[in-house]
Structure 1
Amino acid sequence: MDTCVIFGAAGFDRLIAPICDDALVIAADGGLRHFDKLSRKPDVILGDFDSLGFVPEGAEVHPVEKDDTDLMLAIRHGLSRGCREFYLYGGLDGSRLDHTVANFQSLAYLSEQGAQGWLIGKDYIATAIGNKSLRFPANATGILSAFCLGRDAEGVSIRGLQYTLENGTLSSSYPLGVSNHFIGQSAEISVKSGTLLLLWDVSCGLPTLL
Protein backbone atom coordinates (compact mmCIF):
# COMPACT_ATOMS: atom_id res chain seq x y z
CA MET A 1 0.00 0.00 0.00
CA ASP A 2 1.58 3.26 -1.17
CA THR A 3 -1.34 5.65 -1.69
CA CYS A 4 -3.57 7.29 0.91
CA VAL A 5 -6.71 9.24 -0.05
CA ILE A 6 -8.08 11.48 2.71
CA PHE A 7 -11.35 13.39 2.68
CA GLY A 8 -11.77 16.46 4.89
CA ALA A 9 -14.91 18.48 5.55
CA ALA A 10 -14.43 21.29 2.99
CA GLY A 11 -15.65 21.20 -0.59
CA PHE A 12 -14.12 20.01 -3.85
CA ASP A 13 -15.65 19.45 -7.28
CA ARG A 14 -14.17 16.19 -8.51
CA LEU A 15 -11.52 13.56 -8.03
CA ILE A 16 -8.38 14.46 -9.95
CA ALA A 17 -7.31 10.80 -10.18
CA PRO A 18 -9.13 7.48 -9.81
CA ILE A 19 -8.86 5.87 -6.38
CA CYS A 20 -6.82 2.70 -6.88
CA ASP A 21 -8.13 -0.52 -5.38
CA ASP A 22 -5.30 -0.91 -2.88
CA ALA A 23 -5.34 2.72 -1.66
CA LEU A 24 -5.99 3.48 2.00
CA VAL A 25 -9.11 5.69 2.09
CA ILE A 26 -9.75 7.79 5.20
CA ALA A 27 -12.70 9.98 6.16
CA ALA A 28 -11.58 12.72 8.55
CA ASP A 29 -14.58 13.93 10.60
CA GLY A 30 -16.96 15.83 8.28
CA GLY A 31 -15.20 14.35 5.26
CA LEU A 32 -17.50 11.37 5.73
CA ARG A 33 -20.27 13.37 4.03
CA HIS A 34 -18.44 13.18 0.70
CA PHE A 35 -18.96 9.42 0.57
CA ASP A 36 -22.63 9.93 -0.27
CA LYS A 37 -21.45 10.67 -3.84
CA LEU A 38 -18.55 8.20 -3.99
CA SER A 39 -18.82 4.54 -4.94
CA ARG A 40 -16.16 3.58 -2.40
CA LYS A 41 -16.54 3.40 1.37
CA PRO A 42 -13.78 4.61 3.72
CA ASP A 43 -11.37 2.10 5.22
CA VAL A 44 -10.92 4.32 8.28
CA ILE A 45 -13.15 6.98 9.87
CA LEU A 46 -11.47 9.18 12.45
CA GLY A 47 -11.59 12.58 14.13
CA ASP A 48 -13.23 14.42 17.01
CA PHE A 49 -16.51 14.67 15.04
CA ASP A 50 -17.29 18.24 16.02
CA SER A 51 -17.95 18.98 12.33
CA LEU A 52 -19.99 15.87 11.55
CA GLY A 53 -22.12 16.23 14.68
CA PHE A 54 -22.29 12.52 15.52
CA VAL A 55 -19.91 9.59 15.96
CA PRO A 56 -20.22 7.00 13.17
CA GLU A 57 -20.17 3.32 13.98
CA GLY A 58 -16.65 1.90 14.04
CA ALA A 59 -14.97 5.32 14.09
CA GLU A 60 -11.66 6.11 15.76
CA VAL A 61 -12.64 8.91 18.15
CA HIS A 62 -10.22 11.61 19.31
CA PRO A 63 -10.79 14.45 21.80
CA VAL A 64 -11.67 17.93 20.55
CA GLU A 65 -8.79 19.39 22.58
CA LYS A 66 -5.73 17.94 20.87
CA ASP A 67 -2.55 19.05 19.09
CA ASP A 68 -3.43 17.58 15.66
CA THR A 69 -6.12 18.69 13.26
CA ASP A 70 -8.35 15.88 12.04
CA LEU A 71 -6.58 16.00 8.67
CA MET A 72 -3.21 15.68 10.39
CA LEU A 73 -4.53 12.70 12.38
CA ALA A 74 -5.42 11.08 9.07
CA ILE A 75 -2.00 11.90 7.61
CA ARG A 76 -0.23 10.36 10.60
CA HIS A 77 -2.41 7.26 10.28
CA GLY A 78 -1.53 6.94 6.60
CA LEU A 79 2.19 7.32 7.29
CA SER A 80 1.99 4.66 10.01
CA ARG A 81 0.50 2.29 7.42
CA GLY A 82 3.40 2.88 5.03
CA CYS A 83 1.73 5.29 2.61
CA ARG A 84 4.01 7.67 0.69
CA GLU A 85 1.63 9.56 -1.62
CA PHE A 86 -1.35 11.43 -0.20
CA TYR A 87 -4.38 12.89 -1.99
CA LEU A 88 -6.06 15.33 0.39
CA TYR A 89 -9.57 16.39 -0.63
CA GLY A 90 -11.69 18.93 1.22
CA GLY A 91 -8.87 20.82 2.90
CA LEU A 92 -8.42 23.93 0.74
CA ASP A 93 -11.30 26.25 1.62
CA GLY A 94 -11.13 30.00 2.17
CA SER A 95 -14.04 29.92 4.62
CA ARG A 96 -11.67 28.44 7.24
CA LEU A 97 -8.41 30.24 6.57
CA ASP A 98 -6.86 28.91 9.79
CA HIS A 99 -7.39 25.32 8.68
CA THR A 100 -6.16 26.10 5.18
CA VAL A 101 -2.87 27.43 6.58
CA ALA A 102 -2.67 24.40 8.89
CA ASN A 103 -3.09 22.15 5.86
CA PHE A 104 -0.25 23.95 4.05
CA GLN A 105 1.91 23.13 7.07
CA SER A 106 0.70 19.53 6.85
CA LEU A 107 1.97 19.41 3.26
CA ALA A 108 5.37 20.57 4.51
CA TYR A 109 5.25 17.86 7.19
CA LEU A 110 4.65 15.22 4.54
CA SER A 111 7.56 16.53 2.49
CA GLU A 112 9.83 16.37 5.54
CA GLN A 113 8.78 12.74 6.05
CA GLY A 114 9.83 11.91 2.49
CA ALA A 115 6.20 11.63 1.33
CA GLN A 116 4.24 13.67 -1.20
CA GLY A 117 0.92 15.37 -0.54
CA TRP A 118 -1.55 16.88 -3.01
CA LEU A 119 -4.13 19.20 -1.43
CA ILE A 120 -7.15 19.51 -3.72
CA GLY A 121 -9.86 22.17 -3.48
CA LYS A 122 -12.55 23.52 -5.78
CA ASP A 123 -10.27 25.99 -7.59
CA TYR A 124 -6.69 25.14 -6.67
CA ILE A 125 -4.26 22.33 -6.00
CA ALA A 126 -1.36 22.79 -3.59
CA THR A 127 1.72 20.77 -2.76
CA ALA A 128 5.04 21.19 -0.94
CA ILE A 129 8.40 20.06 -2.28
CA GLY A 130 11.91 19.94 -0.87
CA ASN A 131 14.95 19.00 -2.99
CA LYS A 132 12.61 17.98 -5.82
CA SER A 133 11.24 19.21 -9.14
CA LEU A 134 7.77 19.37 -10.68
CA ARG A 135 7.04 19.49 -14.40
CA PHE A 136 3.82 20.78 -15.97
CA PRO A 137 2.83 20.03 -19.57
CA ALA A 138 2.64 22.72 -22.25
CA ASN A 139 -1.17 22.72 -22.12
CA ALA A 140 -1.26 23.89 -18.48
CA THR A 141 -3.05 27.23 -18.12
CA GLY A 142 -3.69 29.86 -15.48
CA ILE A 143 -1.62 30.90 -12.50
CA LEU A 144 1.07 29.17 -10.48
CA SER A 145 2.39 30.65 -7.23
CA ALA A 146 5.45 29.55 -5.27
CA PHE A 147 6.03 30.42 -1.61
CA CYS A 148 8.76 29.58 0.84
CA LEU A 149 7.71 27.65 3.94
CA GLY A 150 10.07 28.02 6.90
CA ARG A 151 13.72 28.83 6.33
CA ASP A 152 14.85 30.22 2.99
CA ALA A 153 14.21 28.03 -0.04
CA GLU A 154 17.51 28.00 -1.94
CA GLY A 155 18.49 26.81 -5.37
CA VAL A 156 15.04 27.64 -6.73
CA SER A 157 14.66 27.44 -10.51
CA ILE A 158 11.48 28.33 -12.40
CA ARG A 159 11.51 27.62 -16.13
CA GLY A 160 8.89 27.82 -18.86
CA LEU A 161 6.66 30.32 -17.02
CA GLN A 162 6.17 34.05 -17.66
CA TYR A 163 8.61 34.94 -14.87
CA THR A 164 11.69 32.75 -14.65
CA LEU A 165 14.31 32.25 -11.97
CA GLU A 166 17.59 30.37 -12.03
CA ASN A 167 19.15 29.06 -8.82
CA GLY A 168 17.53 31.83 -6.77
CA THR A 169 16.33 32.16 -3.19
CA LEU A 170 12.77 32.62 -1.93
CA SER A 171 12.12 33.97 1.56
CA SER A 172 9.11 33.37 3.80
CA SER A 173 8.93 37.14 4.43
CA TYR A 174 8.63 38.31 0.80
CA PRO A 175 6.08 36.99 -1.76
CA LEU A 176 8.32 37.05 -4.83
CA GLY A 177 6.80 33.90 -6.32
CA VAL A 178 3.13 34.92 -6.32
CA SER A 179 0.97 34.92 -9.49
CA ASN A 180 3.24 33.50 -12.16
CA HIS A 181 1.62 32.42 -15.44
CA PHE A 182 1.78 29.42 -17.73
CA ILE A 183 2.63 30.50 -21.29
CA GLY A 184 2.03 27.42 -23.43
CA GLN A 185 5.38 25.80 -22.72
CA SER A 186 6.40 22.86 -20.58
CA ALA A 187 7.18 24.37 -17.17
CA GLU A 188 9.46 23.12 -14.41
CA ILE A 189 9.90 24.28 -10.81
CA SER A 190 12.69 22.92 -8.60
CA VAL A 191 14.29 23.60 -5.21
CA LYS A 192 17.58 22.32 -3.82
CA SER A 193 17.10 23.09 -0.11
CA GLY A 194 14.24 24.32 2.04
CA THR A 195 10.56 23.83 1.26
CA LEU A 196 8.42 25.36 -1.48
CA LEU A 197 4.63 25.60 -1.30
CA LEU A 198 3.15 25.59 -4.80
CA LEU A 199 -0.45 26.42 -5.81
CA TRP A 200 -1.98 26.24 -9.27
CA ASP A 201 -5.35 26.05 -11.05
CA VAL A 202 -7.12 22.73 -10.49
CA SER A 203 -7.84 22.53 -14.23
CA CYS A 204 -4.15 21.77 -14.81
CA GLY A 205 -4.37 18.51 -12.89
CA LEU A 206 -1.28 16.97 -11.34
CA PRO A 207 2.25 17.66 -12.59
CA THR A 208 4.99 15.07 -12.96
CA LEU A 209 7.18 14.70 -9.88
CA LEU A 210 10.85 14.46 -10.86
Structure 2
Amino acid sequence: MCPKPENVTNASKNDVIVRSDNPITLVGGGQIGPDDLNLTLNGVSCLVAADGGARAVLASGRLPDVVIGDFDSLQPGDLQRIPEDRLFPIREQDTTDFDKALRNVEAPLVLGVGFSGARVDHQLAVFNSLVRRQEQPCLVLGEREVIFHAPPWIRLPVTPGSVVSLFPMRRVTGRSQGLEWPIDGLVLEPDGRIGTSNRSLGEVVLEMEGPGLLVMVPREALEVVTQAFLSGQAGRWPARAG
Protein backbone atom coordinates (compact mmCIF):
# COMPACT_ATOMS: atom_id res chain seq x y z
CA MET A 1 0.00 0.00 0.00
CA CYS A 2 1.35 3.40 -1.02
CA PRO A 3 0.10 6.10 1.40
CA LYS A 4 -0.49 9.44 -0.33
CA PRO A 5 -2.80 12.44 0.08
CA GLU A 6 -5.83 12.81 -2.13
CA ASN A 7 -4.93 16.35 -3.15
CA VAL A 8 -1.84 18.55 -3.18
CA THR A 9 -3.00 22.09 -3.81
CA ASN A 10 0.29 23.96 -3.41
CA ALA A 11 3.24 21.80 -4.37
CA SER A 12 5.58 24.79 -4.25
CA LYS A 13 5.50 24.44 -0.47
CA ASN A 14 7.11 20.99 -0.75
CA ASP A 15 4.08 19.10 0.51
CA VAL A 16 4.85 15.48 1.25
CA ILE A 17 3.02 13.60 -1.51
CA VAL A 18 4.19 10.16 -0.38
CA ARG A 19 5.09 9.29 3.19
CA SER A 20 6.18 5.71 3.83
CA ASP A 21 7.74 3.69 6.64
CA ASN A 22 9.34 1.44 4.02
CA PRO A 23 11.74 2.14 1.14
CA ILE A 24 10.38 3.67 -2.07
CA THR A 25 11.43 2.95 -5.65
CA LEU A 26 11.70 6.08 -7.79
CA VAL A 27 11.91 5.66 -11.56
CA GLY A 28 13.23 8.24 -13.99
CA GLY A 29 13.24 8.54 -17.76
CA GLY A 30 16.94 7.77 -18.24
CA GLN A 31 18.75 4.53 -18.91
CA ILE A 32 17.17 1.52 -17.15
CA GLY A 33 18.79 -1.90 -17.29
CA PRO A 34 16.75 -5.09 -17.70
CA ASP A 35 17.10 -6.01 -14.01
CA ASP A 36 17.02 -2.53 -12.44
CA LEU A 37 13.35 -2.45 -11.48
CA ASN A 38 13.36 -5.97 -10.08
CA LEU A 39 16.48 -5.23 -8.02
CA THR A 40 14.86 -2.22 -6.36
CA LEU A 41 11.28 -3.43 -5.85
CA ASN A 42 11.99 -6.05 -3.20
CA GLY A 43 10.71 -4.80 0.16
CA VAL A 44 9.46 -1.42 -1.08
CA SER A 45 5.95 -0.17 -0.41
CA CYS A 46 5.58 2.34 -3.22
CA LEU A 47 6.57 2.69 -6.87
CA VAL A 48 6.92 6.36 -7.79
CA ALA A 49 7.65 7.68 -11.28
CA ALA A 50 9.32 11.01 -11.96
CA ASP A 51 7.50 12.27 -15.05
CA GLY A 52 8.79 10.27 -18.06
CA GLY A 53 9.80 7.42 -15.77
CA ALA A 54 6.15 6.39 -15.85
CA ARG A 55 6.68 5.14 -19.40
CA ALA A 56 9.29 2.64 -18.23
CA VAL A 57 7.02 1.50 -15.41
CA LEU A 58 4.14 0.96 -17.82
CA ALA A 59 6.43 -0.88 -20.24
CA SER A 60 7.30 -3.31 -17.44
CA GLY A 61 3.63 -4.24 -17.09
CA ARG A 62 3.16 -2.28 -13.87
CA LEU A 63 1.27 0.86 -12.92
CA PRO A 64 3.08 3.55 -10.93
CA ASP A 65 1.48 4.29 -7.56
CA VAL A 66 2.34 7.97 -7.94
CA VAL A 67 3.66 10.14 -10.78
CA ILE A 68 5.35 13.44 -9.86
CA GLY A 69 6.75 16.01 -12.29
CA ASP A 70 5.93 18.75 -14.77
CA PHE A 71 4.55 16.10 -17.19
CA ASP A 72 6.36 17.47 -20.23
CA SER A 73 7.82 14.03 -21.02
CA LEU A 74 4.65 11.94 -20.83
CA GLN A 75 2.63 11.13 -23.91
CA PRO A 76 -1.17 11.54 -23.73
CA GLY A 77 -1.57 7.79 -24.19
CA ASP A 78 0.59 7.12 -21.13
CA LEU A 79 -1.37 9.58 -19.03
CA GLN A 80 -4.65 7.95 -20.00
CA ARG A 81 -3.45 4.60 -18.66
CA ILE A 82 -2.73 6.02 -15.19
CA PRO A 83 -5.61 6.78 -12.78
CA GLU A 84 -6.01 10.51 -12.22
CA ASP A 85 -5.66 10.21 -8.44
CA ARG A 86 -2.09 8.93 -8.96
CA LEU A 87 -0.99 12.02 -10.91
CA PHE A 88 0.64 14.90 -9.03
CA PRO A 89 1.74 17.63 -11.46
CA ILE A 90 4.24 20.26 -10.30
CA ARG A 91 4.39 22.75 -13.14
CA GLU A 92 7.36 24.93 -12.14
CA GLN A 93 10.43 24.72 -14.39
CA ASP A 94 13.09 25.78 -11.87
CA THR A 95 13.94 22.22 -10.81
CA THR A 96 14.25 18.81 -12.42
CA ASP A 97 11.66 16.06 -12.11
CA PHE A 98 14.09 14.08 -9.93
CA ASP A 99 14.30 17.02 -7.55
CA LYS A 100 10.53 17.50 -7.56
CA ALA A 101 10.02 13.86 -6.63
CA LEU A 102 12.79 13.69 -4.03
CA ARG A 103 11.59 16.76 -2.15
CA ASN A 104 8.00 15.50 -2.05
CA VAL A 105 8.56 12.02 -0.67
CA GLU A 106 9.48 10.97 2.83
CA ALA A 107 10.84 7.47 3.44
CA PRO A 108 13.73 5.75 5.21
CA LEU A 109 15.32 5.25 1.78
CA VAL A 110 14.63 5.98 -1.89
CA LEU A 111 15.98 3.58 -4.51
CA GLY A 112 16.38 5.47 -7.77
CA VAL A 113 16.60 3.89 -11.25
CA GLY A 114 16.61 5.63 -14.60
CA PHE A 115 18.67 8.58 -13.38
CA SER A 116 22.07 7.67 -14.81
CA GLY A 117 23.66 6.77 -18.11
CA ALA A 118 21.91 9.42 -20.18
CA ARG A 119 22.98 13.04 -20.76
CA VAL A 120 25.84 14.39 -18.66
CA ASP A 121 23.91 17.53 -17.71
CA HIS A 122 21.04 15.38 -16.42
CA GLN A 123 23.50 13.29 -14.42
CA LEU A 124 25.06 16.39 -12.85
CA ALA A 125 21.60 17.68 -11.94
CA VAL A 126 20.88 14.38 -10.17
CA PHE A 127 24.10 14.71 -8.16
CA ASN A 128 23.12 18.27 -7.26
CA SER A 129 19.74 17.11 -5.93
CA LEU A 130 21.27 14.25 -3.94
CA VAL A 131 23.20 16.87 -1.96
CA ARG A 132 20.51 19.56 -1.86
CA ARG A 133 17.91 17.09 -0.55
CA GLN A 134 20.31 15.82 2.10
CA GLU A 135 17.51 14.90 4.52
CA GLN A 136 16.19 12.18 2.20
CA PRO A 137 18.61 9.25 1.75
CA CYS A 138 18.62 8.06 -1.85
CA LEU A 139 20.60 5.42 -3.73
CA VAL A 140 20.95 5.91 -7.48
CA LEU A 141 21.50 2.62 -9.30
CA GLY A 142 23.74 2.94 -12.34
CA GLU A 143 24.97 0.46 -14.91
CA ARG A 144 28.13 -0.26 -12.91
CA GLU A 145 27.78 1.51 -9.58
CA VAL A 146 25.55 2.69 -6.76
CA ILE A 147 25.79 6.41 -6.00
CA PHE A 148 24.64 8.14 -2.82
CA HIS A 149 25.22 11.22 -0.71
CA ALA A 150 27.39 10.30 2.27
CA PRO A 151 25.43 10.59 5.54
CA PRO A 152 27.09 11.89 8.76
CA TRP A 153 28.45 8.37 9.28
CA ILE A 154 28.03 5.01 7.62
CA ARG A 155 29.40 1.51 8.05
CA LEU A 156 29.71 -0.51 4.82
CA PRO A 157 30.80 -4.17 4.91
CA VAL A 158 31.85 -4.14 1.25
CA THR A 159 34.01 -6.82 -0.33
CA PRO A 160 37.76 -6.21 0.14
CA GLY A 161 39.26 -4.75 -3.02
CA SER A 162 36.03 -3.01 -4.06
CA VAL A 163 36.37 0.38 -5.70
CA VAL A 164 35.05 3.10 -3.37
CA SER A 165 35.09 6.47 -5.12
CA LEU A 166 34.52 9.71 -3.22
CA PHE A 167 33.64 12.90 -5.05
CA PRO A 168 33.06 16.19 -3.20
CA MET A 169 30.28 18.47 -4.43
CA ARG A 170 31.50 21.13 -1.99
CA ARG A 171 34.41 21.51 0.45
CA VAL A 172 34.25 18.57 2.86
CA THR A 173 36.40 16.90 5.50
CA GLY A 174 36.01 13.66 7.40
CA ARG A 175 37.59 10.42 8.58
CA SER A 176 37.65 6.91 7.21
CA GLN A 177 38.46 3.38 8.21
CA GLY A 178 39.00 0.50 5.83
CA LEU A 179 40.14 2.53 2.81
CA GLU A 180 43.50 1.95 1.17
CA TRP A 181 43.99 5.73 1.12
CA PRO A 182 42.35 7.26 4.24
CA ILE A 183 40.75 10.70 4.03
CA ASP A 184 41.69 11.74 7.58
CA GLY A 185 43.20 15.23 7.59
CA LEU A 186 42.38 15.86 3.93
CA VAL A 187 40.25 18.63 2.46
CA LEU A 188 38.22 17.42 -0.51
CA GLU A 189 36.88 19.99 -3.00
CA PRO A 190 35.35 19.75 -6.49
CA ASP A 191 38.12 21.97 -7.89
CA GLY A 192 40.85 20.52 -5.67
CA ARG A 193 41.64 17.16 -4.15
CA ILE A 194 39.09 14.43 -4.88
CA GLY A 195 38.90 10.79 -3.81
CA THR A 196 37.98 8.70 -6.84
CA SER A 197 39.25 5.15 -7.41
CA ASN A 198 39.98 4.45 -3.74
CA ARG A 199 39.75 0.80 -2.64
CA SER A 200 38.35 -1.02 0.35
CA LEU A 201 40.53 -3.13 2.62
CA GLY A 202 37.43 -4.64 4.22
CA GLU A 203 34.57 -2.96 6.04
CA VAL A 204 34.56 0.77 5.27
CA VAL A 205 33.51 3.37 7.83
CA LEU A 206 33.04 7.04 6.86
CA GLU A 207 32.49 9.88 9.30
CA MET A 208 31.84 13.26 7.69
CA GLU A 209 32.11 16.70 9.27
CA GLY A 210 29.40 18.02 6.97
CA PRO A 211 27.29 17.15 3.92
CA GLY A 212 28.46 17.32 0.33
CA LEU A 213 30.34 14.09 -0.45
CA LEU A 214 29.13 11.61 -3.06
CA VAL A 215 30.06 7.94 -2.63
CA MET A 216 30.24 5.44 -5.49
CA VAL A 217 30.53 1.71 -4.86
CA PRO A 218 30.11 -1.27 -7.22
CA ARG A 219 26.59 -2.13 -8.30
CA GLU A 220 26.99 -5.50 -6.59
CA ALA A 221 27.04 -3.66 -3.25
CA LEU A 222 23.43 -2.43 -3.62
CA GLU A 223 22.08 -4.79 -0.95
CA VAL A 224 24.94 -3.96 1.44
CA VAL A 225 24.35 -0.21 1.11
CA THR A 226 20.58 -0.62 1.36
CA GLN A 227 20.88 -2.58 4.60
CA ALA A 228 23.33 -0.04 6.02
CA PHE A 229 20.71 2.70 5.67
CA LEU A 230 17.85 0.53 6.94
CA SER A 231 19.56 -1.22 9.86
CA GLY A 232 20.93 1.70 11.84
CA GLN A 233 24.40 1.58 10.28
CA ALA A 234 24.11 5.10 8.87
CA GLY A 235 23.26 8.53 10.23
CA ARG A 236 20.98 11.09 8.63
CA TRP A 237 21.40 14.77 7.85
CA PRO A 238 18.73 17.27 8.88
CA ALA A 239 16.95 19.24 6.18
CA ARG A 240 18.77 22.34 4.96
CA ALA A 241 17.43 25.63 6.24
CA GLY A 242 15.52 27.74 3.77
Whole-Å separation in 2 of the counterparts to 1:129 and 1:204: 15
Count of residue pairs the alignment pairs up: 198
Whole-Å separation in 2 of the counterparts to 1:61 and 1:78: 14
Give the 3-state SS of the residue equivalent to 1:108 in structure 2. helix
Whole-Å separation in 1 of the counterparts to 2:196 and 2:156: 17
Aligned position for 1:189: 206
The answer to whether the 8 A contact 2:175-2:208 is kept is yes
Give the 3-state SS of the residue equivalent to 2:52 in structure 1. helix
In the TM superposition, residue 169 of structure 1 has moved relative to its aligned partner by 2.2
In the TM superposition, residue 99 of structure 1 has moved relative to its aligned partner by 1.0
1:92 paired to 2:119: no
Aligned position for 1:176: 194
Aligned position for 2:89: 61
Higher share in strand? 1
Whole-Å separation in 1 of the counterparts to 2:57 and 2:68: 14
TM (normalized to structure 2)?
A: 0.71
Q: Unaligned regions of 5+ residues in structure 1, if any?
A: none
Whole-Å separation in 2 of the counterparts to 1:157 and 1:105: 23
Matches within 5 A, 1:143-182: 143-150=163-170, 152-154=171-173, 156-182=174-200
Opposite residue 167 of structure 2, the aligned amino acid is F
The answer to whether the 8 A contact 2:50-2:67 is kept is yes
2:99 corresponds, among 59, 72, 83, to: 72
Give the 3-state SS of the residue equivalent to 1:171 in structure 2. coil
Q: 1:109 to 1:4 in 2, by over 3 A?
A: farther
In the TM superposition, residue 78 of structure 1 has moved relative to its aligned partner by 0.8
Identity of aligned residues (%): 23
Aligned position for 1:27: 49
RMSD of aligned C-alpha atoms?
2.4
Whole-Å separation in 1 of the counterparts to 2:40 and 2:46: 14
Aligned position for 2:9: none
Whole-Å separation in 1 of the counterparts to 2:51 and 2:179: 39
TM (normalized to structure 1)?
A: 0.81
Q: 1:92 to 1:198 in 2, by over 3 A?
A: same
The one-character-per-residue Cα deviations of 1:156-198 (angstroms, maximum 9, x if unpaired) are: 1222122122243212212430111234x11222212232111
